[in-house]
A and B are shown apart, each in its own frame.
Chain A
Amino acid sequence: MRPDFLRPWRAAAWDHGAASHLLRRAGFGGTPAEVAEALSLGPQETLERAFLDRGDPSLHASIEPLLSAGGIESLQAWWMSLILESGAPLRERMALVWHDHFATSNDKVDDVRLMHRQNELFRASGLGDFRELLHDVARDAAMLVWLDGNSNRAEQPNENFARELLELFALGIGSYTEDDVREVARAFSGWGTEGRSSTFRAEHHDARPKTIFGHTGAWTGDDALELVLEHPACCRHVARVLLEAFVMPSPADEWVEGVAGLLLECEWGVARTLEVLLASELFFSSAARRSRIAGPVELVAATARALDARIAPRLAARMASDMGQALFRPPSVKGWDGGRHWIHSGTWIARHNALVELATAAQVGDGRVHVDLERSFGDALDALPGRALAALIPNGSSTRFEQTLASAARGARDANHARQVVAAVVLTAPEYHLY
């Protein structure tokens, strides 16, 4: 029996705001045409489409020369191109959620091929069975380098992976003891890398019995993962990740319990869980709408899409880096702290600059932006404030806001300048930065 808040939302109030909400959360926002299409399709079909992969296969093929070149900026730009293209919105969204969750940085791994391979793992398995994902992440070469698998040997255990597995990846503080960390580390002893492959060095594995969460046995690393997955805190931990990423920060305990139950009911299937969650009353509730401070990657991508802008992926990735989210380089194994941590004077200035550049389609550095605001906002100047607000902050309009925009439009040199100023004012308004 599912809790009430997971009941399907009645689509009676399916409007511009609801459609934008779904397109933003289940991907990286919609272009004006996609929002219009979603409005006619209804929530169910819009959600189904978010699960599809309709992307350009050549984008995937373009990766090899970038990897040969070796720079992390190329890999960042490549992922950004998949995000901006939005051929598979939910897949890329979920990959970003897992990148933040299983946060691994190239600053230590120092190998773009390994970073790319981990990214492809999130892309291929991110919407599948979480249990398989966890097993795959544990033997992912980038992760093994990142959390010191090679130095975890029977004679000298390294607890780095074991600790983060329990603390950050699967259970959360308070659900295990320091002894559990030590014992889990012993279970993973011998897991390491050879070249770019993961490997098991039996001579470094501690085969003696271990006691993990009170269960004693000669546990291997895979056994330890199974014990972690059977721990009652694990499904709650994953449920919290999904709620925070897709619904709202600081979810109520009752929702965490409900979504944890749903996850088990769906046999740990992430896609199946999201099919229910993203169609639920909770998801569409007014408390959930625009309840998150937009992260840099989603802000840049959603803005480019809302303005129907063409932007060089390398430039988009650099904009996000300037705002504090360099893909493949999270600040620590905790990932990005997010929320209000995204925002301080320095990052606000970076947001301002990127968004004004998008609104004015300025050429920046080696990247180019092209925007056709007339197509997005029309040519009727008196309708401009209303249309810009509806497109960028649906349901976020106020008289004061509209008056400010109208007066800015009246003071402009010509129609094009008016559209640029109105777009820039909306994009740099604090309200726009809620996602």
Chain B
Amino acid sequence: MQLSRRQLLVHGAGAGVLARWLPLLAARADAARQERVLVVLHLQGGNDALNMVVPHRQDRYYVLRPTLALKRSALHALDDDHGLHPAMNDLAALYAEGRLTVVQAVGHPHPDRSHFRATEIWHTGCPLGPSPGIGWLGRLSDQIWQREPGSMPALHVGDDEVPLALVGREYVAPSVSAELGLQLAELEGLDAARAGLLDASDGAGDVAFLRDVARGAYRAVERMERATERPDPVSYPDLPLARRLQRIARLLEGGFETRVFFATLGGFDTHARQAAQHASLLEQLSRSLGAFERHLAAAGLSERVATVVFSEFGRRAAENASRGTDHGAAAPVLVLGGPGRGGMRGSAPDLEALEDGDVPFQADLRSLWSTFEQEWMGLAPSSAFPPLAL
């Protein structure tokens, strides 16, 4: 049983019972939250979400997109008003199972069409003023790091630079290649001697700190090795995003301590002749997440892991003259598991009431981040925006 403190208060119990049970239940809820994992996927370049979650009932959609509009009959039906891109079989199935939640038109009041600035805003959760230089996941990592010094709160799975989202004040997540993982140079006899030395508890200050981190690092590698020795319970498609998610699933299955994972899929900046490229990216996204979710389910991890998929902006509602789309603003965010109950949140974007050619935002990204920070991870949020009911 997992009850949050608030649920318990809302559902009401006798005051005496409450007094006796509250600390225990709260501790249990905290312990469960400490086990929870957040996987964040950034679709880089600005995903044309209007062709991912398609409001096919609106005739305006076909007017705005004379060459790019997807045929209603080819879409995977989501609800009465929306269909999912035809290339997204796995995500359609996950929606049908109630695992996928679509949050409509997430954005903020200060949309910016620059990739750099828009990314900065999403990664920091700060649409206003200069960038604070630290990311929203970095803030979470700092909180976990303070509680568990020497642990590895967050990890970037990929070969690129560590994204701003993961930059904390105290802790900056390392990058781990999806292919190589964490590999330790071996030397016969080194392990035994090292274990003996790291066992020591004398010394203080920096030496004790270094020893804690070293112990944690070797433990992490051991666990990762154990995790990778085991054959995967599911097969993954041979796609870059699938390899990144496979790495994450293996780590979690192996009992790895990391709580926040970040990965990216690039190529969404589709200004010209986008149809084939966009379809192939969405297929990669869907098949990769499908395999990942099956892996989590087989490993009994589904309850612990939430995945959120965002892009720095959506694209203009109208297609351009090159059969592509240009930089836009608010767009749907996909949430798998976690605080999402499945289904559609928010209403269909009204394509007759665009603002400056864009879908206006309904949900503030700061509220979305609060939902994961507070409700899901049980940590302090980076803004005062109230969590969303997903």
Which residues on A are within 8 Å of B, measured CB to CB?
A: 293, 331-332, 340-341, 343-349, 352-353, 356-357, 359-360, 362, 400-401, 404-405, 407-408, 411-413, 417, 420-421, 424-425, 428-431, 433-434
Contacts and interface: CB of A to CB of B under 8 A. Distances in A.
Given A346-B173, A349-B182, A360-B187, A425 B211 contact: no
A349 B194 CA distance: 14
Contacts, number: 106
Given A352-B217, A413-B188, A430-B214, A407 B193 contact: yes
Contacts of B189: 408, 411-412, 417, 421
B275 interface: no
B172 interface: yes
A118 B213 CA distance: 36
B229 interface: no
Given A340-B209, A346-B173, A404-B197, A353 B187 contact: no
Contacts of A433: 210
A353 B152 contact: no
Nearest to A407: B193
Contacts of B155: 346
B7 to A, nearest CB: 35
Interface centre among B174, B183, B193, B196 (most CB of A within 10 A): B193
Nearest to A429: B197
Given A405-B193, A411-B189, A430-B198, 19 more contacts: A293-B206, A332-B133, A343-B213, A344-B172, A344-B213, A345-B150, A345-B151, A346-B155, A346-B174, A346-B176, A348-B213, A352-B184, A400-B197, A404-B193, A408-B189, A421-B189, A421-B190, A430-B210, A434-B206
B211 A430 contact: yes
Interface string B204-228: 0011011101101100110000000
A424 B189 CA distance: 10
**Which 4 A-B residue pairs are closest in the complex by CB-CB distance?**
A346-B174, A430-B210, A345-B217, A356-B185
B171 interface: yes
B17 interface: no
Contacts of A424: 187, 190
Query: Which range holds the interface residue count of chain B?
Result: 35 or more
Given A425-B193, A430-B214, A343 B152 contact: no
A341 B155 CA distance: 16
A417 B182 contact: no
Nearest to A428: B194
B192 interface: yes
Interface string B314-349: 000000000000000000000000000000000000
B217 A359 contact: no
A345 B220 contact: yes
Contacts of B186: 356
29 contacts: A340-B206, A340-B209, A341-B170, A341-B172, A343-B213, A344-B171, A344-B213, A345-B151, A345-B174, A345-B213, A345-B217, A345-B220, A346-B152, A346-B176, A352-B185, A352-B214, A353-B185, A401-B197, A408-B192, A421-B187, A421-B193, A425-B194, A428-B190, A429-B194, A430-B198, A430-B207, A434-B206, A434-B207, A434-B210
A429 B218 CA distance: 13
B158 to A, nearest CB: 13
Nearest to A249: B206
B24 interface: no
A135 B172 CA distance: 34
A348 B171 CA distance: 13
Contacts of A434: 206-207, 210
B99 to A, nearest CB: 31
B200 interface: yes
**Which residue of A293, A359, A421 has the most chain B CB atoms within 10 A of its CB atom?**
A421
Contacts of A360: 185, 187
B103 to A, nearest CB: 32
Interface centre among A345, A404, A425 (most CB of B within 10 A): A345
Interface-centre pick from A407, A429, A430 (highest chain B CB count, 10 A): A430
B190 A356 contact: yes
A400 B150 CA distance: 24
Contacts of B182: 346, 349
Nearest to A332: B133
A349 B206 CA distance: 17
A336 B187 CA distance: 31
Nearest to B258: A345
Contacts of B203: 431
Contacts of B194: 425, 428-429
Contacts of B198: 430
B207 A431 contact: yes
Contacts of A348: 213-214, 217
A359 B189 CA distance: 13
Contacts of A425: 190, 193-194, 197
Nearest to A405: B193
Nearest to A293: B206
A413 B189 CA distance: 10
A67 B210 CA distance: 38
Interface in B230-284: none
A349 B217 contact: yes
Contacts of A405: 193
B133 A353 contact: no
B210 A344 contact: no
B184 A349 contact: yes
Contact of B152 (A345, A357, A412): A345
A404 B196 CA distance: 7
Contacts of A343: 209-210, 213
B64 to A, nearest CB: 36
Nearest to A418: B189
A346 B320 CA distance: 44
A428 B242 CA distance: 34
